[in-house]
Structure 1
Amino acid sequence: MNISFMRRLNGWLFALLVLLGAGAIGYLTARHDRIVDWTYNSRVSMSPETRAVLAKLDGPVDIVSYASPQGDLRQTIAAALQRYQKAKPDLHLSFVDPQQDPAAMRNLGITVDGELILHYRDRQQRLDTLTERSLTDALERLVRGNDRIVAFVTGNGERRADGVANADLGTFASQLEQSGMRAVPLNFSQVTSVPEHTDVVVLAGPQAALAPGATKALVDYLGNGGNLLWLADPGNMDASLQPIADALGIRVLPGELVDASASALGLKDPRMIALGDYPPSTITRGLTLTTLFPEVAPLAEIRRSEWQLEPFLRSSPQATTQSLDGSATASLKGPLDFGFALSRLSPSPAKSEQRVVVIGNGDFLSNSYLGNGGNRALGERIFNWLLGDDQLISMPPRGAPDRVLKMSQGELSLLSIAFMIFMPLLLLVIGALIAWRRRRA
C-alpha cells in the first residue's frame, strides 16, 4: 500500500515539476530574448556582411513602409526589421497608409503594398522586396552614396560587362550594380573622350589594337585624374597600349607565369597561379581567402614617377616565366608581381587622389572563374579602392558556404538503408527491451 502510494506521489510530483519548469521557461523567454545560431558561419542569422554595413552607417537610418494597416503585412515587416534595430538602435521604422493620400503615393511612385523607402542623411533607396540580401544591398548603396559610373571599354574584343560567355564579366558586373555601381559601355568609335562623371574606366584585355583616338582618349583621361582598372592578359600587349603603360611608369613583361608548386595544391595546370598570401596593401589587408589566376602576365615598374606604386599580387618564389608557346624564359624567376595599385595626387581639382589598378590577368573576374575562392571578394575590394570607398574595402565577402551535400552513390545507398531498415529495427529493439523490463517489474 505504501509502495503504491509512493509511486503515485512520485508521479504527481514529477508532473508538477514539469509544469513548473515549463512555466519558468515561458516566464524567462517572455522577458529575455536570447537567440543562439549554431549553424556554420551563423548562416541563418544576420550575416557578417550585413553587420559590417550597419557599422558603416554612422548616423540614423529612417525606414518608411507604405503598407496597408489591413492584414499582417505591417507585423511581418516590423518583425523582419527587428534584428536590424537590435544591431543598430538608431534605425527607425514608421508606417504610412497608402490609401490615405493616393495622389501623394503616385507622386512618390509607390506601386507595391509594403514598399520601403530608406533615408540616410540626404540619400534614399527604395525596396519593393524585403530580404536580407536586398536590404543589405540597399544599405550598402546608402553608404556609397550616388550610383558610381563604371565604363567598360568595348569595340576591340574586350571582355563584355553584359556578356554571358565564359571569358566575359557579366556575372561580376551584375553584382557590382547591386552594390551601387552602374556598368556602361564605352566605345571610342562613338565618342572621342571619356564622358564626364565617369568614376572608373575598365580596360579588360582588348584582343585587337586600339585605334589611335582611343589610346589618346585613355591617356588624356589618366592625365586629367581619371581612375582606371587595366586587366592586361598575356599576349595582349601591343603598341597601342604602350602609351598607357608609359603614362603609369610600368611594363607588362612578355610571357606568362608558371608555378611548379601548383601541383601540391591539386592544380594540374602550372599556369594556374593560386595565392593565399598577399603583400601588405590597402586592397588585400585582412584578405585570407585563396584567389586563383589562370594565365598571368608579370608586371614590372620601369621608372620612378609621381605615382605611388604598391604591389598587391605576387607569385611564389617557385614561379618563373615561359613564353606563350611553352618555352622557358630562365631570366625571370619568382617572386614576380602581377598586380599593381597606383595612386597620386589628382591633377583634377574635383578630387584629391587618383587611383589605378593594373593586373596581369582578367580571367579571375570572368564568368568561369569568379566563383573560385576569394576571386569575387578581391574584385569587390579593387573597385571599392578605385572608387575611394575605403570604408567598404574590409567588408566580409558575400555569400554563404556551399550548402550542397556531395555524396557518392554507395554512400547514398548506405544512408538510405540506415534510415529505412536499421533505424526502424533499432526502435523495435528498444521498444521490446522497455516492454520486457516493465513485465519484470
Structure 2
Amino acid sequence: MPISAYSFSALALDWRQFWRQPAAWLATLLLAIGASAIFVNRLEHYLSLQAQGFIGLQLDNDLLGPLFGALAALVVFTAPLLALAMRPVLLLNHRRLQARYRFGRAIGLLLLALLLMLAPLLPVFGLLALGASLKLHALLLPAAGILLLACVALLMSLALAVRIQHPASALAFSYLLLLALVALDALPGGYGLFGQFRPFYQGELTLAGLGYLTLLVLAARASVQAYLTASKASTYLSLGLLLAAIVAVQLPGRWQAEPVLSPAQQQMLAVHGKDLQLTLISADANARSDWRAQLEALKIWQPSLSISEQHPEALAPNLRDQLPGNSGLLLQRQNQSAWLALPIDQLPARIVESLSTLVERRDAQIVFLEGNGERELFGEQARDLRKLRDALQAQGLSGQPLALMPGMSIPDNTSVLVIASPQNVYPTYLRQALLQYLMRGGHLLWLREPDEPEALTSLETYLGVSRLPGTVVDPVAVQRGSPHPAIVIIDHYPEHPAFTHLQELTALPWTQALRAQAAADVAITPLLQSHPDSRLVAEPDQNWPDDAPKGPFTVGLLWQKTVNEQTQRVAVIGDGHFLADTALHNYGNSALALSLLQWLAFGDEALSPVLERRSEILFLPGWALSSLRYGVWLWPLSLLLLGCLTLWHWRRR
C-alpha cells in the first residue's frame, strides 16, 4: 500500500486510539511537569548566583547548558512510555512495523508523537526567547539536537515495543538499552564510549554525534534480534530484563564524577603530578573503592600518579593524630601535604586545585620594591597595586613589598623582582643591590614612566635598554574608541610561551618608547609595539607636530640571558599605569600582567592564568520574570485540564 493511502482520517483515528492509552497521558504529563520544574529550577538558580555577585556567570554554561541537558534526558526517559502507548495502535488490524507498508502506516503517528515530545519544551524556548532576549541560534541548535535525539530514542523504543510480544518486556528492554547508553557515556575520562554525546544533545550537531547515534540504532537492532532468537519473550526473561534495568540505574552513579578538567588543570597535573601521592583514608572499604575509581581516571593525564588506600587504624600514630578527620584524601608531594575531606563534589578538579597549593609556585615570592615612590601593594591611592595583589593571590602567587635599607640585599628566594614606577632617585646602595641581583641571575619586571627620575642609568647600561624622549600617542586608538590619544592600544603579541593564550586588547596609558642595544649574549624579544601610525611627542596632545617621529614603537620587550646555566628573564615595559587599580581590569591588562609575571617567575612551564570572566547578566523586566517563573506552568495545567475533560467525555459516551 503506498504512503498516500494513509489518509488524514486514518491518522485521526490512530491519534484517538493513542490518547486512550494511559501511558500516553503519563508520558505527556511527565514531560510537561518535568520540563517546567527543570526550567524554573535552573532559572532561579542562575538568578540567585547573579544576585550573590558570582563572577564568571555565562548564560550558555550556567543556564542553557544544564537546562538543555536535563530536557534532553527527560525526552529520552519518556520515549519508551510513548512507544508503549503507540504499540496497540500500530498492532491494530495487524499493522506491524515489519509489514510491507510499515513506513506509510507509522510515519504519521511517529511525527505526531515527536511533536508531542517537543510540545512541553516549546513554552520553555518561547519564554526564553521572549523574556531573556536570547539570540535565535542559541535556542534553535539545542532544539535541533533534542529533536534528533528524541527521534532516535523513540524509533528504538518503538521497534522494541512492536517486535517484543510482552509490553513489560518491551518497556524493560527499552530502558535497559537507554541506561546502558548512559552508563557507557559515563565511563571516566577518555573511556566513555559516547564521549561526543553530551555536546551533541546540547545542540552541536557534529559528525561524531551523528555517528554515535547511528551506532546506537544498530546496537538496538542487534539486541532485539538476539533477544528474539534467545527466547519468545518468556516471563522469566522479562523479569530478568527488569532486574538488569534496575541494576543499570546504579552504574552511572558510580561513574558520575567523570574528571572533566580544563586544559590548564590537565597541564598542571601532567607537569607537576609526577611525584604526587594520593592516599584514600576511610574505614568504609566500599567508599574507598568508589573514590579510587574516580582517582584512577586521573592517570589519563598523569600515568605515574601514585594511588593507595588505608584504613585509619592502619596509619602510623603520629600521622593519624595529625589528620583533621578519619575519612578523606591525603595529598603528599615533596614533603608537603594537603587534606581533602570526603565525600566531596568534583573530586578530580579539587585534587588539581589542591595540587596547585603544593607545587613550588606556592613558595614563589614576587617582590615589589617600595620606599622610593613606587606603586605600592597595600597603598590606598589610585596609582597603587592592591587589585594586582588580589589577582596574584587568586592565582596562588604571593606578592610581597620590600623596602631595602643600607647593607641589605635582595633575598635569594625572590622569584621575580618588580620595579613599579619609582618617583624618587634610588640611593647608591639600592642601585648596587639591584645590579648584584641581576648579576646572579635574578628575574626582573621594570615598569618605566616618561617622568621617572634619571638615576637608573647603571641599570639601563647593564640591560642595554634605554628610553626615547617623549610620550607615545596613538591616533588610531582614538578612532577605535580610546578616550585619549596617549592611551596606546595593543592588539597583537609575539609568538612566545608567555603569551600563548593572550588574545585580548591591552591599553597602556602615557607610554614610554624603548630602545634596546643589548650585548651579544642577550636575546631581546619585542613584546608590545604601538600602531604604525603612532607618534612620539613631547606633550601628549592631539595637536602634535607633523615632523613628530612615527611608529611603530617598542613599548615593551623581553630580555633573556644565560647565567650559571639558568635562563635569566627580564621584562621592561614603558608604562606602569596599566597595572594600577584604575586600569588593571580595563581590556586585557590583567591577563597581560598575570601572564607576564608567571612567565618571569616560572619560565616556559608557567601555566596560563585562570582569569575571572565577567558575568553575563540576565536583565529581565518584571513582566518577563513573572512570565518565565509562572507562565511555563500553564502548559502542564492546560494538559491536565484537557485530560480531565477527555476522560469525562469518554465516560459520558
TM-score (norm 1): 0.78
Q: Report if the CA contact (8 A) 2:283-2:312 is conserved.
A: no
Structure 2 residue 296 is matched with structure 1 residue 296: no
Q: 2: distance between equivalents of 1:205 and 1:178?
A: 24
Deviations 1:267-303 (A, max 9, x none): 3233333322113444334532333333322211256
Q: 2: distance between equivalents of 1:173 and 1:64?
A: 34
Q: 2: distance between equivalents of 1:75 and 1:147?
A: 34
- Aligned-residue offset at 1:76: 8.4
Query: Of residues 407, 410, 418 in structure 1, which corresponds to 2:627?
Result: 418
SS of structure 1 residue aligned to 2:411? coil
Q: Report if the CA contact (8 A) 1:232-1:361 is conserved.
A: yes
Structure 2 residue 314 is matched with structure 1 residue 105: no
| 1:333-412 superposed matches below 5 A | 333-346=550-563, 349=564, 351-392=565-606, 395-399=607-611, 401-407=613-619, 411-412=620-621
Structure in which a larger fraction of residues adopt strand? 1
SS of structure 1 residue aligned to 2:625? helix
Deviations 1:93-151 (A, max 9, x none): 334444555741277x433555644345x464424577777643443465646722322
Structure 2 residue 174 is matched with structure 1 residue 24: no
- Aligned-residue offset at 1:238: 1.2
Structure 2 residue 446 is matched with structure 1 residue 230: yes
Structure 2 residue 419 is matched with structure 1 residue 203: yes
Q: 2: distance between equivalents of 1:302 and 1:312?
A: 15
Shift of the 352–304 alpha-carbon distance from structure 1 to 2, 3 Å rule, reads: closer
Mean Cα displacement is larger for which, 26-35 or 68-77?
68-77
Partner of 1:248: 463
- Name the aligned partner's letter for residue 323 of structure 2: I
Structure in which a larger fraction of residues adopt helix? 2
Query: Of residues 45, 56, 75 in structure 1, which corresponds to 2:271?
Result: 56
Partner of 2:481: 266
Q: Report if the CA contact (8 A) 2:477-2:487 is conserved.
A: yes
Q: 1: distance between equivalents of 2:350 and 2:511?
A: 35
SS of structure 2 residue aligned to 1:379? helix
Q: 2: distance between equivalents of 1:419 and 1:321?
A: 56
Q: Report if the CA contact (8 A) 1:311-1:339 is conserved.
A: yes
Mean Cα displacement is larger for which, 6-15 or 247-256?
6-15
- Aligned-residue offset at 1:81: 4.3
| 1:129-208 superposed matches below 5 A | 135-140=351-356, 144=360, 147-163=363-379, 166-176=382-392, 181-189=397-405, 191-208=407-424
Q: Report if the CA contact (8 A) 2:422-2:453 is conserved.
A: no
- Name the aligned partner's letter for residue 574 of structure 2: G
SS of structure 2 residue aligned to 1:328? coil
Q: 1: distance between equivalents of 2:441 and 2:88?
A: 90
Partner of 2:298: 84
Query: Of residues 486, 502, 522 in structure 2, which corresponds to 1:287?
Result: 502
SS of structure 1 residue aligned to 2:578? helix
Deviations 1:331-359 (A, max 9, x none): 3322111111111221xx3x422221111
Q: Report if the CA contact (8 A) 2:419-2:445 is conserved.
A: yes
SS of structure 2 residue aligned to 1:387? helix
Shift of the 143–22 alpha-carbon distance from structure 1 to 2, 3 Å rule, reads: same
- Aligned-residue offset at 1:396: 4.2
Structure 1: which 5+ runs fail to align?
A: none
TM-score (norm 2): 0.55
- Name the aligned partner's letter for residue 566 of structure 2: S
SS of structure 2 residue aligned to 1:274? strand
Partner of 1:93: 307
Q: Report if the CA contact (8 A) 1:149-1:199 is conserved.
A: yes
Partner of 2:522: 307
SS of structure 1 residue aligned to 2:419? strand
- Name the aligned partner's letter for residue 430 of structure 2: A
How many residues get paired? 424
Partner of 2:5: none
Identity in percent: 24
